[in-house]
Amino acid sequence: MTTKNKAVFLDRDGVLNEEIGTYVWEPAKFIICPGVPESLARLKAAGYLLIVVTNQAGIAKKLYTATEVRACHAKLQAACDDAIDALYFSDAHPSVSDSILRKPESGMLEKATARFNLDVNQCWIVGDRLRDMEAGANAGVRGILVGEEEGVDFAPHVADLRAATAVILGQ
């Protein structure tokens, strides 16, 4: 019997990089939040796979391209010592097309669960929107809400990824 892995799913904008109130697709405007590299290193050291799951509707709206999203992800990986195991993004927008990958649907989490042989009972999702918590719940993954969004009954609400990391690591 193979051992299943554990992971932390991470929303991008507002969790890993600063939320600027509009689409973030230019590397120059992609500012990594304080404490993110250290938090990811702590989670990695505790045996968690790190998987980014982000909605990128601006692609469907033709505001930017998948190549530009990947350039931001390369900047993130470089700043975090290549700690992230996978980066998934949904390029759909409800006004253009439906997609099971777009949060609050759980398609990105389910793809990663199958790819990395994850035990959802040992996984978490950290996000700054209710749709992130819903995607986690739809996949059977516990959620932690960070930032300004109003809290939900079924997930802890903390200030940032540093605080979420402390919850995950039981500190």
What was the pLDDT predicted at 130?
92
Q: Cβ of 48: how many Cβ atoms within 10 Å?
A: 23
Can you tell me whether residue 34 is helix, strand or coil?
A: coil
pTM reported for the whole predicted model: 0.94
Catalytic site includes residue 91: no
Indicate which residue of 13, 91, 132, 160 is catalytic: 13
- Domain 6-168 superfamily per CATH: HAD superfamily/HAD-like (3.40.50.1000)
Q: Are 47 and 12 in contact (CB under 8 A)?
A: no
User: And the tokens for 111?
Assistant: 């793809």
Tell me how far CA of residue 10 lies from CA of 2, 61, 80, in angstroms.
25, 23, 14
Which residue numbers in the chain have pLDDT < 70?
1, 94-97, 151-152, 154
User: And the tokens for 96?
Assistant: 């253009």
- Bridge partner residues of 54 (DSSP): 89
What was the pLDDT predicted at 156?
81
What was the pLDDT predicted at 70?
95
Catalytic site includes residue 11: yes
Q: Are 86 and 52 in contact (CB under 8 A)?
A: yes
What was the pLDDT predicted at 155?
75
Indicate which residue of 11, 91, 128, 132 is catalytic: 11
What was the pLDDT predicted at 151?
65
What was the pLDDT predicted at 1?
58
Residue 10, C-beta contacts closer than 8 angstroms, at least 6 positions apart: 16, 50, 51, 52, 53, 84, 125, 126, 127, 161
